[in-house]
Amino acid sequence: MPNASFGSLNAAGLVLDSAYQNISKKEWQDLIELAQKASIADRINDMFSGKIFNRSERRPVLHTALRNCSKNPIFVEGKNVMPEIEVVWQRIQSLCNEWDGVTDVIHIGIGGSVFGPQLAVQALANLPGINSREMRMHFAVNIDGEELTQIFRQAKPASTRVIIVSKTFSTTETLMNAKAVVSWLKSNGCSNKQLQGALLAVTANPTAAQLFGITSDHIFPFWDWVGGRFSVWSAVGLCIALQYGFETFMSFLKGAEAIDRHFQETPIEKNVPILMALALLHQQKKYSSTAYAVIPYANALSLFPFWLQQLEMESHGKGVGCGDIPIQNSSPVVFGSVGTNSQHSYFQLLHQGAEIIPVDFIAVGEPMSDIPEAVDHHRILLANCLAQAQALSCGKTSEIPNESYPGNKPSNLIILPKLDAFHLGALLALYESRTVALGILWGINSFDQPGVELGKQLSVPIDSALKNGADIDQSQFDSITSDRIAYLKPYFQ
């Protein structure tokens, strides 16, 4: 059973301690049976072996192939996909070797085309022992031009390179930001030839990238069997390799690969991502929890909760399961931020709020700083992490109701021995695997996101109506939106 001895639940060096979940032996047995009934091991094998796993889009789900560093063949429609992946690795490596004299890189992308890369670049930036190229890495994400204003203030146009990252190469924010960056380069004296040298694309739609004006030798492909939110392992993570070197990028992939081996080969009772999924499922049912928090006690992981929000809520924010069956349980609201900062914000609600919110605490063994006081700071950081989990679970009684802590609030503790590229890759893959396991257990297709489309479509006629000179065609909008357009329209006259 989980936590027979401390540290025994270990995946790629990451330890799961689920003791504060307060799940009894009998409850764990029932949960494991539930996973067996869902044929979880067979379903996981189906995914790894390239069967159609994203049923609504009739596609395999093979982000795991991208980190298959041992290069075992993986077949999609009878074709081994590994040679194509290896070609991309070689191209990334060559680019890293010839990447000199660049002062600034602008990575343009949104959603899955930026969360993972930005998280990894930020997480590794200041860690002891990580070598980084002297170069500024910027991320242009939002359509709000304020972000580009900041970037244009810092970057040197003559030595800037641009990576346009978009699976579909049709995302409005990304394409408009890319056009604005091209204009900025041109207006700063960049010739057409220099421009061609400066622009790179990463996409599953190379034709659209070529039409945009990117030369085919500057286009890094990935494939429709990689979900956007699972894509950091592809050339989408190019910026990680450029900033920290190809070996570091491969180490990131190897950490993820180690989790894949664990996820595919470990029996349920010791399978860390499956047990994490089962515990969340159990607490959600037991306490009717609608939220879940993830608190990394590592400043370097400050973007991790944002990455996880998309991973979980875009995968499982659904009311209909596989086979179009309405379902009762799906993704809780995922939120979080680093400790100890978060303790001085919303932890009050975790301790004494009316709803029980399961928490994952993430801690790192080795200090992540090299200031002279690093060890003392790190010890206190970890003491706080342990104390919060203890307070949540054990509580404290008081005659004054306002001062009592009810306790029995469930949490996991996940311990990384150190934060480096390998363990970062492992951490991300651990949560990806938990997402896969949750999808199987909830009976949800984790790999489509139809709900994000309607708002995108509706923004097109609204944009037209807001444009200077255009009449508002009232028949296209409901009365509330019509009023809002009329109110905002003068800003565009």
Tell me the catalytic residues: 314, 344, 456
Strands 291-296 and 359-364: parallel
Considering the complex, what minimum distance in angstroms separates the CB of residue 113 from ligand F6P?
Answer: 4
Residue 323 CB contacts under 8 Å (≥ 6 apart), including other chains: 443
Footprint of ligand F6P (CB under 6 A): 110-113, 166-168, 171, 174, 228-229, 314, 449, 452
Q: Judged by CB, which is closer to ligand F6P: 171, or 271?
A: 171
Paired tokens of 410: 């469930």
Distance CA 105, CA 374 (A): 31
Q: Judged by CB, which is closer to ligand F6P: 171, or 435?
A: 171
Number of H helices and E strands in the chain, helices first, is 18, 15
Considering the complex, what minimum distance in angstroms separates the CB of residue 141 from ligand F6P?
Answer: 10
Considering the complex, what minimum distance in angstroms separates the CB of residue 167 from ligand F6P?
Answer: 4
Distance CA 484, CA 122 (A): 38
Residues pairing with 396 in the sheet: 405
- Which residue type does 200 have? L
The helix, strand and coil proportions of the chain, stated in percent and rounded to the nearest 5, come to: 55, 15, 35
Strands 160-165 and 199-203: parallel
- 208: number of CA atoms within 13 Å, CB side? 15
- 330: number of CA atoms within 13 Å, CB side? 19
Q: Judged by CB, which is closer to ligand F6P: 229, or 378?
A: 229
Grouping H, G, I as helix, E, B as strand and the rest as coil, residue 300 is: helix
Tell me the torsion sign for CA atoms 190, 196, 198, 202. Answer: positive
Alpha helices in 302-373 (DSSP H): 304-309, 315-316, 347-352
Angle between helices 421-442 and 40-48 (to 10 degrees): 120
Grouping H, G, I as helix, E, B as strand and the rest as coil, residue 61 is: coil
Considering the complex, what minimum distance in angstroms separates the CB of residue 400 from ligand F6P?
Answer: 48
Candidates 41, 177, 56, 31; CA nearest to 109 is 177
Considering the complex, what minimum distance in angstroms separates the CB of residue 453 from ligand F6P?
Answer: 8
Q: Judged by CB, which is closer to ligand F6P: 231, or 284?
A: 231
Distance CA 384, CA 379 (A): 9
Considering the complex, what minimum distance in angstroms separates the CB of residue 235 from ligand F6P?
Answer: 12
Strands (E), 329-420: 333-335, 359-364, 411-416
| Residue pair 426/13 in contact by the 8 Å Cβ criterion | yes
Considering the complex, what minimum distance in angstroms separates the CB of residue 112 from ligand F6P?
Answer: 3
Considering the complex, what minimum distance in angstroms separates the CB of residue 62 from ligand F6P?
Answer: 17
- b or e along 63-102 (b: 16 or more beta carbons within 10 Å of the residue's beta carbon)? bbbbbbeeeeebebeeeebbeebeebbebbeebbeebeeb
Distance CA 490, CA 484 (A): 11
H or E element that contains 293: strand 291-296
Distance CA 233, CA 325 (A): 32
Considering the complex, what minimum distance in angstroms separates the CB of residue 236 from ligand F6P?
Answer: 8
Considering the complex, what minimum distance in angstroms separates the CB of residue 291 from ligand F6P?
Answer: 22
Q: Judged by CB, which is closer to ligand F6P: 108, or 424?
A: 108
Distance CA 297, CA 376 (A): 14
Q: Judged by CB, which is closer to ligand F6P: 240, or 250?
A: 240
Q: Judged by CB, which is closer to ligand F6P: 229, or 434?
A: 229
Paired tokens of 323: 């086979």
